[in-house]
Structure formats: structure tokens, C-alpha cells
């Protein structure tokens, strides 16, 4: 039997506001436990939530970016359940009337093919606190700093057909929310987490199979592994004559397996009802237009522009537009170099990224500025240095030895283009190697490389390679 895999993702993005969704407490990460939870976050009797306007702006911006409907009217509801890190006994979320509905995002399957993934909805909600199981022997600590942090939960259609597609979609959402500046995307700190819903069905069947939900996976690699494990498990269950049970499962990264956590609850288990403490959120057309006016250039548009404007391949353009910071670095470099898009792309994705990756640094922490890199590219294109010598210049700049011109000057790296000088050096080399000259003239043309090497050695790599080749041919010719 051929099985088809069906996946839908629920992604929780923490919105990058300074204060919480319904209170003025700070959302800054890493504070001492319970120093950033105010009376509202603690759910003390008599307090009232007040909606943070900024979260509405961020949700609307996201909705516009995914071509969705931004609802003129959305409603907060109480989702009731008991858990120690939820002092109110309910989470404020949105159920029937979410703020964003019916959008989509196109993911790349390969260089040529894209696939459209439907986004059912995105709704606003508050995060819960955190239970700390490790810090106190035999006891659990509760940190309510995270309680009330704004989340935008982005729910996809069950449109993905493999773990790879799911990861591509997740990466695309990650890239988008960072471009929009609405989420910092930090997965270690829990700002971007994902639940994966997975089912299988016989190839060709219309009806969806029973799904399981894999909870709270916080890395791209784990999403892929968790889904692949779960697909194999479901196939084994069904082919062994059993049935998949609808349930919530936990992915254990250490054991690389999923295991049951709880049976799946239905919406009515939560006794949802509109929160009487909060008015419906009403957005007018002027607000939406004001938000639309602030829309930055989005990754897909930027990638297409990079291919056209700088003649880059789609793959290179996609890599350079993977974050706004990297794309800006590239464009500033090109501006400083006065063109040379392809050369700039090669240096940024090659030499620079290589050194940054080795030190685990981000492009924003690059010790070489776009102006410095652009200045060096100019010296390559005007022939002052060769591409090979440029590596030396680049490393010196990276180590803080100044910009390209001063490095070239200080280290005497200027390319020798004076053909008279080069000719003299070639004559010296030929004179010093009479046997090889004879062999070459006798037909051993492979030896040409040997002479090039000798001349380059004599000039410490500074002779203009094209000029060396030309003159060597002439002089060796007799």
C-alpha cells in the first residue's frame, strides 16, 4: 500500500512588543522569576485586562503579508483549563472570530517549483507561565514572567505532504515574521514554536486520516525528525491491523521518538465563551491602510528583484534575502563597490559567511563593514589586486587591520601590471631553468604551469596573471 502523508502546522510566534498583551508588565526575556508579572498577569480578583494596541497592528501587518482577510471585528474568548502556570484558570484567546483569516504562503520545493500552502487563520492569545521542574528537589517552581506575553498562533491548512515541505513552510513563516519585525524568531528562548498535526491516508483517498498532534517542537531539525518518526509509527500501526488514535504526543529529541501525552481534547472541553472583560476588537479601513503603508519589501519580492537587478541565480538571491540584515549588507556592499553584484554575492556567501559561521557570528556582528568590502571589490575590478591576493586583504580587514587601500599599501600587495617588469622577471625564470625550457620547447607543454608558478613565486603572487600568461607564451615560443 502506498501512503500519503498529510501535515498541518500550528505555529506560535511571540510578538515582539515591549509590554504584555493585556498589561503593562515587561516582556523582556531572562529576568529573575516572577519579577515581571503584575496583578493582571497573576489574575488577581478585580483587575481588568486592557488590550495592547501594538499587537493588533502586528497581527494586521502579518495578515496583509499573507494576503489574508484582516477581520474588521474579532473577539477574545476564554479557554478554560486548570494548570499551575495559569493562575486565572483560563487563557484569553480567540476562537470563532480570529483577527486574521484565509491567507496563504508560497514555499519553494526546488529551483523551479513552488507550492501554495493555505493559512486557515491567525489569532491572538496570551502565553501561560512556566513550570520549573529542575530547580527544586521534589517540588515544582512557577515563573509567571511569561504569563500574558502576546502570541500570534498561525494555523495552516493540512496542505503539506512531507516533513520537508513542513520544514520549508516553517522556515518561510520564520523568515517572514522576522522581516515584518513582529517576532524575533528566537527558538531557544521559545519565541517561535510549532505543533505539527500528522496523519496518513492511502494514496488517492480523499478523506483525511486520523491525526496526532506533536507538541511544542522548537527547532527545524526536530520538526523534520518528529514528523518522519510519527509517519513511520502510524504506518506500522495501520499495517499491523490497528487504528491511529487521535491524541497529543510529545517528541523526545534524545530518544528520537514520539510518545503519548494526553488524548485530544475538543473545543467544548474548554468551555470557550467570549471574555466579558474585553470589548470586541474593531478595526477600520483607515487603520488597515495605515498598516499597509508600512509594509516592508517582503522576501519573495526582494529575491525576484535581486535576480533581475544584480543578475544573481534564484538560489543565490534566496540565500542573500534569507534575512533583512543580510540583504541590506549585500545592497550596501554593492553600493560601495559601485556595482559588482555577482562579485559581492560571492564574497559575502563565500569568504565572509565562512568566517562568520566558524565563530558563530551573525551578519550584524561582521567585523568587515559593507563599505570596507565594497572598497576591496573596487580594487579587484580596477586591477589593483588579483582575486587571489584579495583573500589576504580580506582576512586582514576581518582582523581589524583597516580598510582595503591601507592594507594593500601597508603590505605592499599591489598587483604588478607593468609588462616591462613582468617580462624581466620571466626572463630571469627562464634563465634559471634551462632544462625545463628545453623540455617545453621539445613538446612537453604541460610544463607551462611550472613556469607560471615560478613567476608567481618570484612576485609573491602579485603579477597580473593574464599578463604573465601572455608574455610567457611569447617568450617560451622562442
- CB of 170 or CB of 345, closer to ligand ADP: 170
Please name the helix (run of DSSP H) or strand (run of DSSP E) that holds residue 326, with its range, or none: helix 324-337
299 binds ligand ADP (CB under 6 A): no
- CB of 205 or CB of 381, closer to ligand ADP: 205
- CB of 28 or CB of 208, closer to ligand ADP: 208
What is the closest distance, in whole angstroms, from the C-beta atom of residue 186 to ligand ADP in the complex? 23
- CB of 156 or CB of 415, closer to ligand ADP: 156
Question: Residues 79, 93: contact at Cβ < 8 Å?
Answer: yes
- Tell me which residue has cell 559575502: 348
Expressed in angstroms, the distance from the first to the final Cα of the chain is 75
8 binds ligand ADP (CB under 6 A): yes
88 binds ligand ADP (CB under 6 A): no
- CB of 112 or CB of 206, closer to ligand ADP: 206
Among residues 10, 257, 325, 351, the one that binds ligand ADP under rule CB under 6 A: 10
98 binds ligand ADP (CB under 6 A): no
What is the closest distance, in whole angstroms, from the C-beta atom of residue 7 to ligand ADP in the complex? 6
What is the closest distance, in whole angstroms, from the C-beta atom of residue 240 to ligand ADP in the complex? 20
What is the closest distance, in whole angstroms, from the C-beta atom of residue 182 to ligand ADP in the complex? 20
- CB of 17 or CB of 156, closer to ligand ADP: 156
What is the closest distance, in whole angstroms, from the C-beta atom of residue 347 to ligand ADP in the complex? 41
Separation CA 350–CA 377 (nearest Å): 14
Torsion of CA 300, 309, 182, 168, to 10 degrees: 30
Number of residues that bind ligand ADP (CB under 6 A): 15
Question: Residues 66, 119: contact at Cβ < 8 Å?
Answer: yes
Compute CA 438 distance to the chain's CA centroid, rounded to the nearest angstrom.
59
What is the closest distance, in whole angstroms, from the C-beta atom of residue 120 to ligand ADP in the complex? 6
- CB of 4 or CB of 423, closer to ligand ADP: 4
DSSP alpha helices (H): ranges in 338-386?
341-347, 353-358, 370-381
Query: Which of these segments, 67-75, 151-159, 288-296, 339-347, binds ligand ADP (CB under 6 A)?
Result: 151-159
Torsion of CA 231, 237, 241, 246, to 10 degrees: -90
Residue nearest to ligand ADP (CB): 8
x-marked contacts with ligand ADP along 399-428 as a string, rule CB under 6 A: ------------------------------
Query: Which of these segments, 4-12, 281-289, 362-370, 451-459, binds ligand ADP (CB under 6 A)?
Result: 4-12
State how beta strands 130-132 and 73-74 pair.
unpaired
Separation CA 185–CA 177 (nearest Å): 7
- Please give the DSSP secondary-structure letter assigned to residue 293: T
CA distances from 8 to 29, 67, 213 (A): 29, 19, 9
Question: Residues 173, 154: contact at Cβ < 8 Å?
Answer: yes
Interaction residues for ligand ADP, span 153-212 (CB under 6 A): 155-158, 197-199, 208-209, 211
Kindly list the residues in this chain that would bind ligand ADP in the complex (CB under 6 A): 6-10, 155-158, 197-199, 208-209, 211
Amino acid at each position: 500500500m502506498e501512503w500519503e502523508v498529510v501535515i498541518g502546522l500550528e505555529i506560535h510566534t511571540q510578538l515582539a512588543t515591549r509590554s504584555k498583551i493585556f498589561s503593562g508588565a515587561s516582556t523582556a526575556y531572562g529576568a529573575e522569576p516572577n519579577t515581571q508579572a503584575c496583578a493582571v498577569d497573576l489574575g488577581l480578583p478585580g483587575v481588568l485586562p486592557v488590550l495592547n494596541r501594538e499587537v493588533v497592528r502586528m497581527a494586521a501587518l502579518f495578515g496583509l503579508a499573507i494576503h489574508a482577510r484582516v477581520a474588521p471585528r474579532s473577539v477574545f474568548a476564554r479557554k478554560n483549563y486548570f494548570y499551575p502556570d495559569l493562575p486565572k484558570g483560563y487563557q484569553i484567546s480567540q476562537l470563532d472570530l480570529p483577527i486574521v483569516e484565509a491567507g496563504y504562503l508560497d514555499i519553494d520545493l526546488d529551483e523551479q517549483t513552488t507550492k501554495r500552502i493555505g493559512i486557515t487563520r491567525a489569532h491572538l492569545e496570551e502565553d501561560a507561565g512556566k513550570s520549573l521542574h529542575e530547580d527544586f528537589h521534589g517540588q515544582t517552581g512557577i515563573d509567571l514572567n511569561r504569563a500574558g506575553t502576546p502570541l500570534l498562533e498561525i494555523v495552516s491548512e493540512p496542505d503539506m505532504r512531507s516533513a520537508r515541505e513542513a520544514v520549508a513552510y516553517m522556515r518561510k513563516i520564520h523568515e517572514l515574521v522576522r522581516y515584518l519585525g513582529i517576532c524575533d524568531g528566537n527558538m531557544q528562548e521559545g519565541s517561535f514554536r510549532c505543533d505539527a498535526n500528522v496523519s496518513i491516508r492511502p494514496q488517492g483517498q480523499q478523506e483525511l486520516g486520523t491525526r496526532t498532534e506533536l507538541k511544542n517542537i522548537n527547532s527545524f531539525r526536530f520538526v523534520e525528525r518528529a514528523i518522519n518518526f510519527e509517519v513511520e509509527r502510524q504506518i506500522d500501526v495501520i499495517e499491523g491491523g490497528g487504528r491511529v488514535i487521535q491524541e497529543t504526543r510529545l517528541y523526545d529529541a534524545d530518544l528520537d521518538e514520539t510518545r503519548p501525552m494526553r488524548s485530544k481534547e475538543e473545543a467544548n472541553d474548554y468551555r470557550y465563551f467570549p471574555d466579558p472583560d474585553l470589548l470586541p476588537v474593531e478595526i477600520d479601513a483607515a487603520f488597515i491602510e495605515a498598516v499597509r503603508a508600512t509594509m516592508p519589501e517582503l522576501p519573495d519580492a526582494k529575491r525576484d528583484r535581486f535576480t533581475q537587478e544584480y543578475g544573481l541565480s534564484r538560489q543565490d538571491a534566496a540565500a542573500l534575502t534569507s534575512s533583512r540584515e543580510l540583504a541590506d549588507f549585500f545592497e550596501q556592499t554593492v553600493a560601495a563597490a559601485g556595482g559588482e553584484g555577482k562579485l559581492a554575492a560571492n564574497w559575502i556567501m563565500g569568504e565572509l559567511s565562512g568566517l562568520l559561521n566558524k565563530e558563530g557570528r551573525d551578519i550584524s556582528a561582521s567585523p568587515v563593514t559593507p563599505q570596507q568590502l565594497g572598497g576591496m571589490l573596487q580594487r579587484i575590478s580596477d586591477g589593483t589586486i588579483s582575486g587571489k591576493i584579495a583573500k589576504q586583504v580580506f582576512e586582514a580587514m576581518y582582523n581589524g587591520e583597516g580598510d582595503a587601500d591601507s592594507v594593500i599599501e601597508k603590505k605592499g600587495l599591489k598587483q604588478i601590471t607593468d609588462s616591462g617588469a613582468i617580462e624581466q622577471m620571466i626572463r630571469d625564470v627562464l634563465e634559471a631553468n634551462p632544462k625545463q625550457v628545453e623540455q617545453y620547447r621539445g613538446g612537453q607543454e604541460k610544463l607551462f604551469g611550472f613556469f607560471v608558478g615560478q613567476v608567481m613565486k618570484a612576485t609573491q603572487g602579485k603579477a597580473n596573471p593574464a599578463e604573465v600568461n601572455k608574455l610567457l607564451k611569447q617568450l617560451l615560443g622562442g
